């Protein structure tokens, strides 16, 4: 079946496929772990049950996402040995220790304290449990730190020498390797992306529950005896309060963090222009050099054969203004790069625009939520809620598009300008790589399809009230909302403060 195929291309497709699946889960769990720490911290500080309800809801989803992230991550490690053994041999002395630190962090911080987080509340008490949650959040961040350091070194290698065997080996300080020139920018941009991705998922779930509560659906699908779903008014009020709280928190994140991310992305782009100019040329669609200011191509169809962008819609000199902060600054194009060092323009051109477009859509959603908050309609604007639901998966699309931009932009090298992708692969025949690729596609769609379905099912059920009972005689007070149980007629949306 794969006899005529190119083994290198199949190995690249396999890595791209598995890393795209894998990246979804850490992008979610990095943000979710921090969100859980914030929720538990707020619960400890304020004593409001709504934060504990939200914690209990999201911790189950975190556990499933974390498990799928670990499983899909192990496959990545295997591929270094199977399909990319030459790369592993030559870069191992540099990248091996960094990846070992990542594994140690995942082992002893994330996985270890995850057990306490999931099962330890009634054994260790609230403060120690909160410590464990913070350790898990810290662990996800430190894991990201090491993995992004590895990736950044491949983009901007520093602090190395090449020995007689052709291996990259440390030369001088490890600080130069770990904190290579693109690392701080990539770390900030990626971690913020993970936070935004999580915020948009949380916002979508909150919006979905608000729309559901507005339609009175929560009173109909009683199937498991849960008070929130069985039509218990107090339970409904409390789970609706939780939906409001998570939607509000998520929209604050979108409004505040999306603009920060755009600025961080701009700094990352300037750093890329300095160290990997060909990548930026391809992202911008600049086949030709522009000595008197380069235009910003908003849209167009790259034509690699003719080395031009067809049907281009441009803003004159805007690219020079963005990249050099001077509209008349000269900007080199791909005509200054040898053909055998040129990254694939079409993929980069589109992946970059998808990422940027989604970033601005996130900003738009955040601004819309500010308007809604100002008009006291944050919880009463169905189109805003529908938009938030629509934007729920956008963070995942954006991080994958961003990842494609940075990785395809490094081509045709694995270690930028030093080691070509073609010389990094294992000497395997195409059928061997193709068979494992087919196996991965089938297994991934079954395993991760089921995992994703399970996560979506948990999300659609909404926040269920905690196991501790509610005093029916007392008014419910969650997140500054005070609807007494008697005020809640069955089938009606709870009376809640619009200004929360």
Residue 212's nearest CA partner among 381, 458, 462 is 462
By CB under 8 A, tell whether 115 contacts another protein.
Answer: yes
Candidate list 45, 123, 325, 457; residue touching another protein; CB under 8 A: 123
By CB under 8 A, tell whether 128 contacts another protein.
Answer: yes
Pick the piece of the chain touching another protein (CB under 8 A) from 103-111, 247-255, 394-402, 492-500. Answer: 103-111
Write the DSSP assignment of 188-255 as a string of letters: HHHHHHHHHHHHHHHHHHHHHHHHHHHTTGGGT---S--TTTTT-HHHHHHHHHHHHHHHHHHHHHHH
Distance of closest approach, residue 105 Cβ to another protein, in angstroms:
12
Taking the least distance from each CB to another protein, the nearer of 113 and 208 is 113
Report how far residue 482's alpha carbon sits from residue 476's, in angstroms, rounded to the nearest whole number: 6
By CB under 8 A, tell whether 176 contacts another protein.
Answer: no
Intra-chain end-to-end CA distance of the chain, in Å: 60
Taking the least distance from each CB to another protein, the nearer of 104 and 315 is 104
By CB under 8 A, tell whether 387 contacts another protein.
Answer: no
Report how far residue 62's alpha carbon sits from residue 28's, in angstroms, rounded to the nearest whole number: 8
Distance of closest approach, residue 497 Cβ to another protein, in angstroms:
24
Report how far residue 207's alpha carbon sits from residue 243's, in angstroms, rounded to the nearest whole number: 7
By CB under 8 A, tell whether 467 contacts another protein.
Answer: yes
By CB under 8 A, tell whether 390 contacts another protein.
Answer: no
By CB under 8 A, tell whether 164 contacts another protein.
Answer: no
Count residues near another protein (CB under 8 A).
24
Candidate list 12, 48, 129, 189; residue touching another protein; CB under 8 A: 129
Residue carrying structure tokens 């930026």? 280
Residue carrying structure tokens 């235009």? 295
Distance of closest approach, residue 463 Cβ to another protein, in angstroms:
15
Taking the least distance from each CB to another protein, the nearer of 121 and 246 is 121
Residue carrying structure tokens 């339609």? 215
Contacting residues for 119 by C-beta, under 8 A, at least 6 apart = none
Binding to another protein in span 32-71, by CB under 8 A: 52
Distance of closest approach, residue 113 Cβ to another protein, in angstroms:
6
Report how far residue 483's alpha carbon sits from residue 487's, in angstroms, rounded to the nearest whole number: 6
Taking the least distance from each CB to another protein, the nearer of 111 and 211 is 111
Contacting residues for 24 by C-beta, under 8 A, at least 6 apart = 396, 399, 400
313 three-state secondary structure: strand
Distance of closest approach, residue 188 Cβ to another protein, in angstroms:
30
Beta bridge partners of 310: 301
Site string for another protein, 314-353 (x = CB under 8 A): ----------------------------------------
Taking the least distance from each CB to another protein, the nearer of 53 and 233 is 53
Candidate list 119, 267, 445, 453; residue touching another protein; CB under 8 A: 119
By CB under 8 A, tell whether 121 contacts another protein.
Answer: yes
Candidate list 38, 124, 428, 438; residue touching another protein; CB under 8 A: 124
- Runs of H (alpha helix) within 125-173: 126-155
Q: Cβ of 284: how many Cβ atoms within 10 Å? A: 25
Per 3-state DSSP, what percentage of the chain is helix, strand, and coil (rounded to 5)? 70, 5, 25
By CB under 8 A, tell whether 74 contacts another protein.
Answer: yes
Candidate list 41, 97, 112, 364; residue touching another protein; CB under 8 A: 112
Distance of closest approach, residue 466 Cβ to another protein, in angstroms:
7
Report how far residue 8's alpha carbon sits from residue 86's, in angstroms, rounded to the nearest whole number: 12
Q: Could you give the angle at which helices 49-82 and 233-275 cross, rounded to 10 degrees?
A: 40
Taking the least distance from each CB to another protein, the nearer of 68 and 282 is 68
Distance of closest approach, residue 121 Cβ to another protein, in angstroms:
5
Q: What is the DSSP letter of 300?
A: E
Residue carrying structure tokens 């900003």? 363
Binding site for another protein (CB under 8 A): 52, 74, 107-108, 111-116, 119-126, 128-129, 132, 466-468
């Amino acid at each position: 079946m794969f006899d005529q195929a190119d083994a290198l291309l199949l190995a690249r497709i396999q890595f791209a496929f598995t890393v795209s699946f894998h990246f979804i889960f850490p992008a979610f769990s990095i943000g979710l772990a921090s969100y859980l720490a914030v929720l538990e911290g707020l619960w400890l500080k304020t004593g409001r049950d709504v934060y504990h309800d939200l914690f209990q809801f999201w911790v189950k989803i975190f556990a499933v996402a974390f498990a799928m992230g670990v499983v899909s991550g192990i496959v990545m490690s295997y591929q270094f040995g199977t399909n990319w053994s030459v790369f592993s041999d030559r870069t191992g002395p540099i990248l091996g220790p960094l990846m070992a630190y990542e594994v140690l962090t995942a082992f002893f911080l994330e996985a270890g304290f995850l057990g306490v987080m999931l099962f330890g509340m009634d054994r260790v008490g609230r403060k120690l449990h909160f410590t464990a949650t913070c350790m898990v959040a810290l662990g996800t961040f430190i894991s990201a730190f090491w993995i992004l350091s590895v990736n950044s070194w491949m983009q901007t290698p520093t602090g190395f020498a090449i020995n007689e065997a052709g291996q990259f080996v440390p030369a001088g300080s490890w600080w130069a390797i770990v904190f290579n020139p693109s690392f701080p920018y990539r770390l900030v941009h990626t971690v913020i992306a993970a936070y935004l991705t999580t915020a948009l998922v949380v916002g979508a779930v909150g919006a979905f529950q608000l729309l559901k509560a507005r339609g009175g659906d929560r009173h109909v699908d009683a199937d498991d005896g849960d008070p929130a779903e069985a039509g218990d008014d107090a339970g409904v009020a409390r789970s609706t309060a939780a939906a409001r709280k998570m939607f509000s928190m998520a929209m604050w994140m979108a409004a505040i963090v999306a603009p920060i991310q755009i600025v961080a992305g701009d700094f990352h782009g300037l750093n890329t222009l300095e160290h990997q100019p060909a990548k930026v040329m391809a992202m911008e669609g600049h086949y030709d050099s522009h000595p008197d200011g380069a235009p910003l191509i908003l849209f167009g169809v790259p034509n690699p054969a003719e080395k031009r962008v067809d049907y281009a819609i441009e803003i004159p000199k805007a690219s020079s203004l963005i990249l050099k902060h001077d509209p008349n600054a000269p900007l080199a194009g791909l005509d200054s790069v040898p053909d055998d060092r040129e990254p694939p323009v079409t993929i980069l051109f589109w992946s970059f625009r998808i990422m940027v477009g989604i970033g601005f859509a996130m900003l738009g959603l955040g601004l819309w939520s500010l308007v809604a908050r100002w008009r006291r309609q944050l919880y009463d604007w169905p189109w805003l809620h529908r938009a938030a639901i629509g934007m729920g998966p956008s963070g995942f699309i954006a991080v994958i598009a961003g990842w494609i931009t940075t990785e395809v932009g490094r081509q045709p090298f694995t270690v930028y300008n030093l080691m070509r992708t073609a010389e990094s692969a294992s000497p395997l025949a195409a059928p061997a790589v193709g068979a494992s690729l087919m196996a991965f596609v089938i297994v991934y769609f079954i395993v991760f399809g089921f995992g994703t379905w399970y996560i979506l099912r948990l999300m659609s059920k909404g926040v269920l009230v905690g196991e501790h009972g509610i005093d029916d005689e007392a008014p419910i007070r969650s997140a500054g909302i005070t609807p007494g149980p008697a005020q809640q007629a069955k089938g009606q949306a709870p009376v809640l403060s619009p200004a929360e």
